[in-house]
Structure 1
Amino acid sequence: MVKPEPGSKSEGPHYMSLRDDVAARMARGELRFGDRLPSERDLQVALGMARGTVRQGLFQLEAEGVIYRRDRSGWYVSPPPVVYDPTRWEGFMAYVEAQARRPSTEVISVETIAADPPLAQVFARPVGASLYRLHRRRHVDERAVLVERIVVDAAMAPDLLRFPLDQSLTSILKSHYGLSVARNQVRMQPCALTGYEAEALGVKSGLPGLAVQRTSFDARGRVVEFDQEYWRHDAVRISVDIQVS
């Protein structure tokens, strides 16, 4: 049970005393990655706070990336973030496994669509050309960390939808269609997770996130894949290794 400690009370809003207490216990190793916090009701009783005040403290910790919620299970201490180098062409499954973590992919939907003007421009294809669009949710250690929308030119990967797309798309494109990436164009910016993204990741609407847009080209300059990812802000750490000649 989390109980307030002498001298740990915050001088700010009342809910900050809960935030400070949990953060202090994590710093001392009393709460570790993956540990489940007491229920909101138990925290309310132990700390003598109103339910709304307890929830404010928990939401503050969630916004800082310290804890996260699991549906119908409660609050847990957040695990370490995945280290992500956006300049490398390496599939999600590969770089997560390389960090001794357990990746998995959940297919939300797959469909064939007609290219609208923006997508036609991305792929240098006529408006109305056939494209495949995948919506997927990615997990690390059974925790949803990102949702993505991926678009692939159907002319370059015919019958792509017959493959099990909960596996590595990178490997499928390479092994079955001979499509390898020679260059990535990556754009990243902070965002707020709202609407579909917040619902898919099971987070409170407005929680900070990271939006990553990646356009992948082969050696001939053709677009192999157009990907839009929305990450939980506490699930990823960007690390780029640049060699200066």
Structure 2
Amino acid sequence: MRSAPDMLDLPRLADDAEGPQYLALRDRIARSIELGRLKPETRLPSERQFQTETGIARGTIREALSQLESEGLIYRRDRSGWYVSPPAVTYDPTRWAGFMTYVGEQGRVPGTETLDKRVVPASSAMADVFRMVPGAPLFYIERRRTIDGRPVLMERIVVDPALAPDLLTHSLDASLTEILKVHYGFSVSRNRMDIRPCALIRETAERLGVKSGTPGIKVTRTSFDDRGRVVEYDREYWRHDAIRIHVDLSVRA
């Protein structure tokens, strides 16, 4: 297998590039990815190698790599370097389908690691969500999700113990959606979603193996049953290159 510098086939851009040099380098790398010369999970050259190959300054190289990262074409592994991003999974926020289900449906390998599960007192904000008094007990679950072994998602889930009394005794590395369906008979009839860009910072970034400030997508979901009860309140922090949000809606006249 050829090395990444060979597959990029870069001339010395300092001599022949038109326009900003960082965009010329960005275009060369993006073209190599588009044409399949750089496969998913291929490690890119180091900044020093890029400098030797192209003859341009490291600051310019960093601009090109940051541009590619913002587009989701490459990602950084902390202390390891830059890699070509794998294909994103399609995420439909209107479905109450668990991560394990929709990732598996797309031929990828999902994984889950439960990092924390405990009883916490409801804050004022959570009490408002669950329509309870502040300080009432809630189940708190924190999990890290992977696709093909790559950490892509941190999720923090809150569930009312009155609806699923012994939930924390279950293995939560399995599908929480299936546990709630099979063991407690819950069927979600409505999801309220809020999706916005964010920066992955502090502990969230560390647990996903990225630098603090890496671009992310925050999905906040409140799931209701047919009686209007909140079944699950979930805050998800995704690597921005890991998902493609897709919604197919019928339009009524």
Query: TM-score, structure 2 length as denominator?
Result: 0.87
Structure 1 residue aligned with 2:17: 9
Contact 1:136 1:149 in 2 (8 A): yes
1:31-70 aligned at under 5 Å gives the runs 31-70=38-77
Q: 1:131: Cα distance to partner? A: 0.6
- Unpaired runs of 5+ in structure 1? none
Query: Would the aligned equivalents of 2:112 and 2:174 in 1 still touch at CA under 8 Å?
Result: yes
The yes-or-no answer on 1:99 pairing with 2:133 is no
Letter matched to residue 119 of structure 2: T
TM-score of the superposition, structure 1-length normalised? 0.90
- Per-residue CA shift, 1:178-208, capped at 9, x if unaligned? 2221211111122232333333323333333
Structure-2 change in CA distance of 1:20 and 1:207 (3 Å): same
Amino acid of the structure 2 residue aligned with 1:233: H
Q: CA deviation at 1:10?
A: 5.0
1:147 aligns with 2:147: no
User: CA contact under 8 A between 1:3 and 1:47: conserved in structure 2?
Assistant: no
Kindly provide the amino acid, as one letter, of the partner of residue 69 in structure 2. E
The answer for the alignment partner of 1:27 in structure 2 is 34
The residue type equivalent to 1:96 in the other structure is V
8 Å CA contact retained: 2:113, 2:173? yes
Distance 1:227 1:179, change over 3 A: same
Q: Cα distance, 1:54 vs. partner?
A: 3.1
Give the SS at the match of 1:205. coil
The AA in structure 1 aligned to 2:47 is E
How far has the Cα of 1:78 moved from its partner? 0.8
Distance in 2 separating the partners of 1:203 and 1:65? 14
Cα 1:6–1:46 shift into 2, 3 Å: closer
State the AA in 2 paired with 1:105: T
Alpha-carbon distance between aligned partners in 1 of 2:58 and 2:146, rounded to the nearest angstrom: 31
Deviates more, 1:163-172 or 1:38-47: 38-47
* 8 A Cα contact 2:78 2:210, kept in partner: no
Query: Structure 2: which amino acid aligns with 1:174?
Result: K
User: Identity over the aligned pairs, expressed in percent?
Assistant: 56
Contact 1:106 1:137 in 2 (8 A): yes
Q: Which blocks of at least 5 consecutive residues in structure 2 are unaligned?
A: none
Shift of 1:237: 1.1
Superposition RMSD on alpha carbons, in Å?
Answer: 2.1
Aligned counterpart, 2:127:
120
Q: Which residue of 2 aligns with 1:226?
A: 233
